[in-house]
Amino acid sequence: MGRIVVEVMPKPEILDPQGKAVAGALPRLGLDGFVAVRQGKRFELEVEGDVDDAALERARRAAEMLLSNPVIEDVVRVAAADDVRSA
Amino acid sequence: MGRIVVEVMPKPEILDPQGKAVAGALPRLGLDGFVAVRQGKRFELEVEGDVDDAALERARRAAEMLLSNPVIEDVVRVAAADDVRSA
């Protein structure tokens, strides 16, 4: 069973109040040096079988049709997950 | 000016109703072959200057203190963004 990661971010020209709230909170926690924050979404799609080109194409269509709103968001990544579950 | 990406996902044992809703909607859009979906968050932190070890350490602290809830979420990635703004 494979896994595909889809990442969606607000378009640069779109206001991002969640990101702004985070950016405002960081200095209050003593974390300086950050000038801006933007918040988007990350999806993990488990697919039947391996992650092949057909599965990636279905994931790209899912990203455009369902996982993002193309008026205000960009799909910034659709890729097989290399099990990067480590900070 | 550098950019750090922080990715946060719900822990595997935590219910994820948003992901479940997406997983239920995919077949209705004709997109088959997905067995599960989980939805998390992706942050882009703009830092003053380059992304060095100190900046990454501050981003890791931000991820643990503010960007994630360690009871229900895992920080799955803290890394310099290689400007991967392409699907």
ipTM comes to 0.91
Residue B75, amino acid: V
As a whole-number percent, the residues of chain A with pLDDT over 70 amount to: 94
Query: What is the arithmetic mean of pLDDT over B76-87?
Result: 72
Query: What is the arithmetic mean of pLDDT over B16-40?
Result: 96
Structure tokens at A51: 């992650």
pLDDT confidence of residue A82: 72
Lowest-pLDDT range of A3-7, A55-59, A79-83: A79-83
Domains and CATH numbers, chain A: 2-80 (3.30.1280.10)
Smallest CA-to-CA distance from B6 within B54, B49, B64 is with B64
Query: What is the arithmetic mean of pLDDT over A70-82?
Result: 94
Q: In the predicted model, is pLDDT for residue A37 greater than 90?
A: yes
Closest-CA residue of A relative to B83 is A76
Contact state of A33 with B47 under an 8 Å Cβ cutoff: yes
B10 backbone dihedrals φ, ψ, rounded to 5°: -65, 140
Whether the CB-CB separation of B32 and B51 falls below 8 Å is answered with no
Query: What is the arithmetic mean of pLDDT over A60-64?
Result: 97
Q: In the predicted model, is pLDDT for residue A64 greater than 50?
A: yes
State the DSSP code for A15.
-
**Rounded to an integer, what distance in angstroms lies between the CA atom of residue B38 and that of residue B65?**
22
Interface test with A, best of B7, B41, B45 (most A CBs within 10 A): B45
Whether the CB-CB separation of A34 and A26 falls below 8 Å is answered with yes
Which chain A residues contact residue B61 at CB under 8 A?
31
Which chain A residues contact residue B33 at CB under 8 A?
47-49, 55, 58
Q: In the predicted model, is pLDDT for residue B51 greater than 80?
A: yes
Closest-CA residue of A relative to B87 is A77
Closest-CA residue of B relative to A75 is B87
Q: In the predicted model, is pLDDT for residue A18 greater than 80?
A: yes
Q: In the predicted model, is pLDDT for residue B86 greater than 70?
A: no
